[in-house]
Amino acid sequence: MVEKNSESEDSARWVLACELRRLREASGRSLAQLAEETNYDRTYLHRLETGERLSKLPVMEALDRVYGTGGLLVRLWRLARLDAFKDKYRAFMQYEAKATIIHKYSLIVPGLLQTEGFARLALSMAPTPVGADELEESVAARLGRQELLRRTPSPNLRIILDEAALRRPVLDSEVWHGQLARIADAAQAPTITIQVLPFAAGVQSLSGGPLSLLWMADDSAVAYLEGNRSGELIEEPDEVQRYRLSYDHLRDAALSPRNSLAFIEQLVEESRP
């Protein structure tokens, strides 16, 4: 089991790990039997029960089906994955999970659009070397954010991608092609709008760093400015409004959604291995 201490005993991750083991033991299953039913490795399932690993959403969905827990494990997983993020980013993610409208500007492929292969390569290039387990943990946490796009109803998402994000590939050509194809597919989803800010647009007021704007069902809004090592969560309405106006100027300078899709699809064709 996860070692119970002052830091872990109240964490959702510890609760999830304990619940996974309790459910298996209550059902009379061994880890080998559970592995056979779910098609997940026995060692991997054991590490979920000890809290050493944080799963991906499909694993929790499979275990909910096996145990007949009606989505309980998925709900605990949504809380547990927040433990993987730092305090300010965790607060931002809590807002993001409730948002009905999300506007983003990014100089890199944003986490909400990343494929698993791209996320793994991107995270493995961190300045500080990471171990295999830590890397998989980070990949699971990043991909877990995409669960909000499968909600019903899903939030209305608009992403302005700097052209640099589409021109700087990872070294694996197949992974890069798959990533560009993923962005093109997303651009055609009914609740997602993607625009490309071309180099020809010149320097813009927001072109120095990523920005997220989130609106809740009650019309409240927050902004989040992301840096290399930290981020700034902005909740003051006047400040949020200022960033919204800057974002609107950026949107006006970007290619139209139709022209952006054509631009991305051309890159997809050019990137075929």
pLDDT per residue as tens digits for the range 165-204: 999 999 999 999 999 999 999 999 999 999 999 999 988 7
Look at residue 1 in the predicted model and tell me its pLDDT: 40
State the virtual CA torsion across 5, 134, 229, 104 in degrees, nearest 10: -110
DSSP secondary structure letters along 198-267: -GGG---TTTTS-EEEEE-TTS-EEEEEE-SS-EEEE--HHHHHHHHHHHHHHHHHSPPHHHHHHHHHHH
Q: Which amino acid is at 1?
A: M
Residues 11, 122, 269: CA angle, nearest 5 degrees: 130
Q: How far apart are CA 258 and CA 256, in angstroms?
A: 5
Q: How far apart are CA 102 and CA 178, in angstroms?
A: 24
Whether residue 170 contacts residue 205, with contact meaning beta carbons closer than 8 Å, is answered with no
Phi, psi values for residue 98, rounded to 5°: -100, -10
Look at residue 268 in the predicted model and tell me its pLDDT: 97
Look at residue 145 in the predicted model and tell me its pLDDT: 86
Q: Side-chain half-sphere of 213: how many Cα atoms within 13 Å? A: 21
Residues in the chain with pLDDT values less than 70: 1-10, 82-88, 206-208, 227-230
Domains of the chain: 12-82 (1.10.260.40), 86-270 (3.30.870)
